[in-house]
A and B are shown apart, each in its own frame.
Chain A
C-alpha cells in the first residue's frame, strides 16, 4: 500500500485505506478506473454512510466519489451523466432540509477532501475549495487580523460548499450578512461537466448558484471576502413577560438606529429546557429572553448602541442585565449555545423549522405557533434570530412515542403560519426535500415557472440533485419525506 496524502488537514500523512472489494456496478468500475480506488467508494458499508444529512435518511447511493481536485469532480460528473445516474453534492451533511440525502440512487460527490485554503491578506480575501470547514477560514485568517463573519451554529463542521449551497446564515447575519454576501467569485462545474469561473459582474449567476442546494451546479472553489474583526463587543440579556414585548423592544431599538451584531431570542419553553439542563439561573417565568451583542471599533459607539437597546427593552417593560466582563458575556451566551443539547434531553429527535416573518408580525406568529404546538400535544420550543425575523420553532419527538405524521403535519401548519403573515419558508436551512411539498403554497405559479425555466436552462436533463427544492410538475401529493 503506497502512503498517500490527504488534503483534509495540512500535513496529515495517513495512508488512505482502499476499498477492498471490486466495485459492484459498471459506473463504479469506470470511476475507479479513472480516479483510482482511493477516491471511489462502492462497498455497501461505505455507501450506506452517504445517504443522510442531519435531518433525514435518503436513498443509498450507487457510488461515492471523494474528489481531491476540480478535475476529479469533472470526471465524476461526466461519468455519471454518461451512465444516466443523478449527481448529489455533499459537504459535511449537516444540512437540516435533506439537501444532501439522495432522493434516488445517485453518485454522491463528497467534498470533504477538497480542503485547500489560501489567505490573501492584501486583498482581504480567502480562496477556499468547497470542502474547507467554515471555521477554518477564520482560524487561518485571524493571524492576519481578518475573519470570515458568516457563522452558522454548525461552523465547526459544515463546509464552504454546503454553506453556499444553503446560503447559510447565523447570529451575526443581522449586521454582517449571510454566506452569499461574502462571495466574490465562484468556480463551479455544470451539469455537463464544464468548469466555469463566475464573478459578480453582469448577471449575478454566482448569486443564482448560491442557495440552489446543488440543483444547478457543483461549487468547487470560492473567493471569499474577509473583514477585520470588531475590536469591542458588549452583551446584554433582557427578559420580557411575553414575546410581543420582546419583538417590540427589538423593533424600537432598530428604529432608534442601533445595529446590533446579534439579536437572539428564546421562548419560555426553550428557557426552561436550558435551565433544566444547566441551571444557569435564567428567569424561568419570562415569556421571552433576548440576547444582544453590539460591536465595533469605537467603544463609545458600541456602548451607545447597547444603551439604545437597553432603553428600548426597559420601555417595552423588560428587565435588563448587562454583562460587565467577557466572562459574563460568555456565560450569558452559553444559554443560547446550549439550546441543542438541552432539547436533546427532552426528546431524542427534533424537527428544526426555519421560517422568516416580518418583525411586525413576530409576536402574533410566535403566539399562533405556540397554540398549534399546545394543541398538537408535541413538545415545541421557539428560538431564533429575532433581528431578521428568522424563527426556529423546534418540534421535539421520539419516534417510538410520537407519530412522524403528526410531526410533519405540525411542521406544515407552522410553515402556513409564516406564509399567511407574509413570511417565507426558509431563512437559512434551505428547502431540500423537507419543505418541497410546501413550495406551491409559498411561491406563486408564475415565479415557480420561472424557477423551472432556470433549472431547465442549467440542467436540462434534471441530473443535479433531483427531487429537491422544486416540487414535481404534476400535482404532487404531500409526500412525507
Chain B
C-alpha cells in the first residue's frame, strides 16, 4: 500500500511499520481470519482496515483518538498473519504502533491506573498470586461490579493453587542428553504451577537437564502489546542478560505468549545496540512442544504408557503458538504418540478464544463472545480432554467450558504427556 509515513521522524520502529504497510496489497484475504471482523462485520475492525487506520494516523491525516477504538479491539492474535498471502508482518506493525501511540494517548486517570496495575501485577508471580487470592474473596461481589472489573474475576479458578518454588537446576534422569534453559513464566506460576512441574518432569524423563537462569523476569510481551514500550525494553534487556544462548541447546517456554514474546526480541530491538544479541537469543527459543517433537521425530522420545481407555483430546491452537510461532504440527504429533489418544480438530480452530493477554480485561464483551463460541466449538467434538499450550487460553477455555456446563478437564499439552508417562491417563 502506498504510504507517506515519516519514517525519519519515527525512527527504527517507523521502518518496521512502514515496511508492513508497504507489503499490504489490501486484497482482503485476511478478513475471514479475523475474530473481530467475524463478530462485527465492519472493515475498521478487520486487519486490512486496521492497517489503513494505522497508516492514516502515522501520516497525520487521522487523529489517533479516532482510530484507537478499532485498534484497541485487535486481539493481537495474528490470525491475519497466517492468512495473508503477501506475508505482511501485522504482528510487528501493531506492536510497534502500540508502543508509538501509547504515550500519545489521552486516557482517563482510572484507565491509566487500571493499566498500570495490570502491568505491575501480571509479571510478578508473587503479587499475582496474592491478587488472585484477594480476587477470589471478592468473587461474591462480582454481580454488582462493573463489567471491566468483573471480567478478571470470572476467569479466576475456583481454587487459587499455592505457589510452588522452582528448582534452579533439574537434573536429567538417566544419562544426560541435553541441557536447556527454561523461562518460568509469570502469571502462570501463580495460576497453574503444575504446568511448570509437568514440564520439568517430562524433560528430565527424557534426559534433559533444565536450568532456570537466575535474574530472568517476565518476557515483556504483556507490556509490549499494551504499548508500555519502556517497561518492555527494560524486561527484554533483563532477559538478554539472564539467558546466555551459547550455554544451552535451546531456550524453552511452555507458554505460547511468552515464547512468541522471546521470538519477537529482534523486532523490538530493531535498530538498537542489542539487536544482534536478541537475534542470537531468539534463534534458540523453542516452544516445549517443538523441542519434544524434535526428540520424537529423531526417535529419541521416551515412549508413553498407553491411555487407560481410548481418549479423544480436543487440541486448541493457541494463537501465539499457531499464528505467531507457526507451531501447529508438533503438539498434535506428541499427543498422537500416546497410544489410545485421538486428536480432534476443533471447528473454526483458527479463531482466537478471546483471551489474548489483557484483552479480557479491556474488551470484556468481545472476549466473552469469542469465549462462548470457542467453548461451543470445542465441545462439539465431544472430547474427553481439552489440551492447549498457553495459560491465557487455558483459563479462558476452562471458564467458558464450565459455564457451558461441562466438566471436561482442560490441561496443558505437557500435562497430558506427563500423565501419560505416569500411566495416569
Contacts and interface: CB of A to CB of B under 8 A. Distances in A.
A93 B30 CA distance: 12
Interface in B29-49: 29, 31-32, 38-44, 49
Interface of A: 3, 6, 8-9, 11-17, 20, 41, 43-46, 48-50, 52-54, 66, 92-94, 110, 112-113, 115, 131, 133, 154, 156-158, 340-341, 344-345, 348-350, 399
Nearest to B351: A9
Contacts of B73: 17
Contact of A344 (B2, B41, B70, B87): B87
Q: Give the dominant DSSP class at B's interface.
A: helix
B79 to A, nearest CB: 13
A56 to B, nearest CB: 9
Given A12-B369, A16-B40, A399 B28 contact: no
B280 interface: no
A317 to B, nearest CB: 33
B372 interface: yes
Nearest to A344: B86
Contacts of B31: 92, 157
Interface residues of B, number: 36
A11 B53 contact: no
Given A15-B365, A45-B67, A52-B26, A6 B85 contact: no
Contacts of A158: 28
B62 A45 contact: yes
26 contacts: A6-B39, A8-B38, A9-B38, A11-B373, A14-B369, A17-B40, A20-B69, A41-B42, A45-B53, A45-B67, A49-B44, A52-B26, A54-B26, A54-B27, A92-B28, A93-B26, A112-B43, A133-B32, A156-B32, A157-B27, A340-B86, A341-B85, A344-B85, A345-B87, A348-B22, A348-B86
A31 to B, nearest CB: 15
Given A13-B369, A48-B53, A344-B25, A110 B32 contact: no
A94 B56 CA distance: 21
A254 B345 CA distance: 41
Contacts of A45: 44, 53, 56, 62, 66-67, 70
Interface of B: 2, 22-23, 25-29, 31-32, 38-44, 49, 52-53, 56, 62, 66-67, 69-70, 73, 85-87, 365-366, 369, 372-373, 376
Nearest to A101: B26
A318 B262 CA distance: 50
A14 B365 contact: yes
B199 to A, nearest CB: 34
Contacts of B22: 348
Given A156-B29, A340-B86, A48 B369 contact: no
Contact of B56 (A14, A48, A54, A157): A48
B85 A110 contact: no
A348 B23 contact: yes
A3 B364 CA distance: 13
Nearest to A56: B26
Contacts of B49: 49
B39 A340 contact: no
